Amino acid sequence: MTPTLRQRLVQSAVDLTLASGWSQVTMARLAAEVGVSRQTVYNEIGGKPALAEAMILGELDRFLSVVTDAFDRHPDDLVAAIENACVSVLELAQGNELLKAVVSATHGADTELLPLLTTHAESLLAAAKQVVGERVAAYDVPLDVHHREAAIDMVVRVVLSHVMQPSASPPETAADLAWVASRVLPDAG
């Protein structure tokens, strides 16, 4: 399938960010890379903040696909699905060059992207919690809606925290999160 103009623009922005840093990404440079006018870039994407969000949400799609796959592999065991999803996400994060560029930018002047993963991560959190919530709904979870949503929120936020600043290997972190989930969801199946 041929990528849409929007997909081409976002991928070019990722490539430029990896090659030169986010501060060097301009709408004019992006237009030149893709072979369209600067106005076309603005019409398709909006401004640079919208481009940054599109890049982050595009990467989020990759992460959420491994979450979906993990739940598909464990349709009868929610705790195993959570563990597998966590390890898959954390392993993907280790090799994600855009994520490395965003996090390492904190040591230089390129700090515009980092808030999209930390203090202004509403879009990212909402999308992740929706996908995880939809997957968890397929299991017999012995919690009311409010507490189930609180548990999902906690897991998503903790995983994001470990994506940003790992404290152990992906399998170790995932095992710890699965242990917590097993205590909160003892009868989940």
Residue spans of the domains in the chain: they are: 1-46, 56-184
Quickly state the pLDDT bin for 40 (edges 50, 70, 90).
very high
Quickly state the pLDDT bin for 118 (edges 50, 70, 90).
low
d(CA 49, CA 31): 16
Q: What is the pLDDT of residues 52-105, one digit of tens each?
A: 888 888 888 889 999 999 999 999 999 999 999 999 999 999 988 887 776 665
Per-residue pLDDT at 108 exceeds 50: no
pTM value?
Answer: 0.79
| Tokens encoding 187 | 């009868």
Maximum distance among all Cα pairs of the chain, rounded to whole angstroms: 57
Mean pLDDT to the nearest integer, 101-114: 55
Residue with tokens 């072979």, as numbered in its chain: 35
Q: Quick one: pLDDT at residue 59?
A: 84
**1-46 topology per CATH:** Arc Repressor Mutant, subunit A (1.10.10)
Q: What is the pLDDT of residues 123-140, one digit of tens each?
A: 778 889 999 999 999 998
**Number of neighbouring beta carbons within 10 Å of residue 48:** 17
Average pLDDT, the chain: 86
| Contact criterion met (CB below 8 Å) for 58 and 52 | no
d(CA 169, CA 47): 37
SS3 40: helix
| Tokens encoding 126 | 């909402």
